[in-house]
Amino acid sequence: MGTEVVVEGLTKSFGRKPVWRDITLTLPAGEVSVLLGPSGTGKTVFLKSLVGLVRPERGHVYVDGTDIVTASERELYAARRLFGVMFQDGALFGSMSLYDNIAFPLREHTKLKERQIHDIVVDKMRLVGLAGEEAKFPGQISGGMRKRAGLARALVLDPQIILCDEPDSGLDPVRTAYLSQLLIDLNAEIDATILIVTHNIQIASTVPDNIGMLFRGDLVGFGPRELLLTSDQPVVSQFLAGRRIGPIGMAEEKDLATMESEQAHIDAGHHDGGSGLDHGRIVPQLEPTPGLPPRRAVRRRTDRVMSIMHTLPPAARQAILENFTPAERARYEAGLGAGR
């Protein structure tokens, strides 16, 4: 099972410019989480903070008993071995074949023999659907294949935590759908903790167990996917629906007068061009491809959500109950009865 990541009060600035402040959340072990936010809200900086590539001014990141923020170089090196990172651009070496790109971390960080490295690389390439493509170079393949090669390289050291930095960047909607399914299948096979940093609504609505959102330097909630997908917060509903009307502007923020003017435009019957999710609409979460094992995270997540159900808004509770199987609903109702 993957490792839990606990973030407490994380705050980061560049000079006098705050990026985000007092970020507190927990990535549950073995579950898939998404961190949303408009461009420029510090999502990638947050991801880098989790592995110690960026040092925040305040706060803590606990991974398997180690605080990434205050760790020594030796402790940080050991903690980083728990992570696999899928970079936004794939970060492949253009002069190396896919095989050598994927083998690179094994050759740099282990003392394995080439035969052992070969077996691992071939297995990870199979896992991401690149079997038989070992001899190709990054310049000879599509963007989607480069993404998958980057993911395979992130997997070769058998990480317990996988960080994906905008994996949909540069991909069309169809390739994004395939990548989304791949991430769910991967979670089913290796039960790793996965965090996907993105602004893609297709991924956010179909892949994760949990969703959070960054805006104006703050975390706009983090919790079960139903919490944000049914949220009535203006910034969340605007972002999910892909509308112009709301707090998010071209420069991220709008003043009150602009927002009131836009709302009057909508009230007059004009369309705002939105093309995302309808407010409160819950799209079914992807399931593993037939033939793969069921996701072990599902039972853990269901148990966890049941324990916090009483803290969630009514719309989120209703959405969760509607997605429960009859057996899960019966178990939840039995727990309510026992608690009375």
Q: Report the CATH number that the domain containing residue 46 is assigned in CATH.
A: 3.40.50.300
Residue 333 falls within a domain, yes or no? yes
Range with lowest mean pLDDT among 36-40, 189-193, 260-264, 314-318: 260-264
Task: Please say whether the beta carbons of 194 and 164 come within 8 A.
Answer: yes
Q: Is the same domain home to 222 and 241?
A: no
Q: Is the same domain home to 25 and 85?
A: yes
Residue 273 falls within a domain, yes or no? no
The residue-averaged pLDDT of 167-172 equals: 85
Task: Compute the distance between CA of residue 54 and CA of residue 339 in angstroms, rounded to an integer.
Answer: 45
Range with lowest mean pLDDT among 74-78, 182-186, 247-251, 305-309: 247-251
pLDDT above 90: residue 169: no
Residue 278 falls within a domain, yes or no? no
Q: Identify which of 99, 307, 315 has the alpha carbon closest to the alpha carbon of residue 226.
A: 315
Query: What percent of the chain clears pLDDT 90, i.e. is strictly above it?
Result: 63
Q: Identify which of 129, 7, 131 has the alpha carbon closest to the alpha carbon of residue 67.
A: 7
Query: Can you give the three-state secondary structure of 239-286, one letter per residue?
Result: HHHCCCCCCCCCCCCCCHHHHHHHHHHHHCCCCCCCCCCCCCCCCCCC
Q: Which pLDDT tens digit goes with each residue over 33-55?
A: 999 988 888 999 999 999 999 99
Which three-class secondary structure state does DSSP give residue 114?
helix
The residue-averaged pLDDT of 222-228 equals: 95
Q: Identify which of 320, 327, 281, 288 has the alpha carbon closest to the alpha carbon of residue 304.
A: 320
166: left (phi over 0), alpha (psi -120 to 50) or beta: left
Which three-class secondary structure state does DSSP give residue 22?
strand
Task: Please say whether the beta carbons of 84 and 155 come within 8 A.
Answer: yes
The residue-averaged pLDDT of 173-198 equals: 93
Query: What percent of the chain clears pLDDT 70, i.e. is strictly above it?
Result: 89
Q: Is the same domain home to 207 and 304?
A: no
Q: Is the same domain home to 115 and 190?
A: yes
In whole angstroms, what separates CA 236 from the centre of its chain?
Answer: 17
Range with lowest mean pLDDT among 13-17, 22-26, 243-247: 243-247
Query: Can you give the three-state secondary structure of 276-290, one letter per residue?
Result: CCCCCCCCCCCCCCC
Q: Is the same domain home to 106 and 79?
A: yes
pLDDT band at residue 304 using 50, 70 and 90 as cut-offs? very high
Q: Is the same domain home to 144 and 242?
A: no
Encoding tokens for residue 252? Answer: 């991220």
pLDDT above 80: residue 65: yes
pLDDT for 267 equals 54
Q: Is the same domain home to 54 and 167?
A: yes
Q: Is the same domain home to 190 and 243?
A: no
Q: In whole angstroms, how far apart are CA 122 and each of 127, 182, 189?
A: 9, 17, 16
Residue 277 falls within a domain, yes or no? no
Buried b (16+ CB within 10 A) or exposed e, 260-280: eebeeeeeeeeeeebebbebb
pLDDT for 105 equals 92
**Surface-to-core class of residue 93, CB atoms within 10 Å of its CB (0-12 exposed, 13-18 middle, 19+ buried):** exposed
Q: Which domain holds residue 256?
A: 234-267
Encoding tokens for residue 3? Answer: 């490792």
pLDDT for 273 equals 45
**Whole-prediction pTM:** 0.88
Q: How many CB atoms lie under 10 A from the CB of residue 96?
A: 14
Q: What is the mean pLDDT of the chain?
A: 88
Q: Is the same domain home to 198 and 257?
A: no
pLDDT for 270 equals 46
pLDDT band at residue 283 using 50, 70 and 90 as cut-offs? confident
Number of domains in the chain: 3
Q: Is the same domain home to 220 and 248?
A: no
Residue type, 81: R
Task: Compute the distance between CA of residue 57 and CA of residue 198 in angstroms, rounded to an integer.
Answer: 24
Residues near 51 by beta carbon (within 8 Å), at least 6 away in sequence: 68, 80, 83, 85, 163
Q: Which pLDDT tens digit goes with each residue over 86-129?
A: 987 667 899 999 999 999 999 998 999 999 999 999 999 998 88
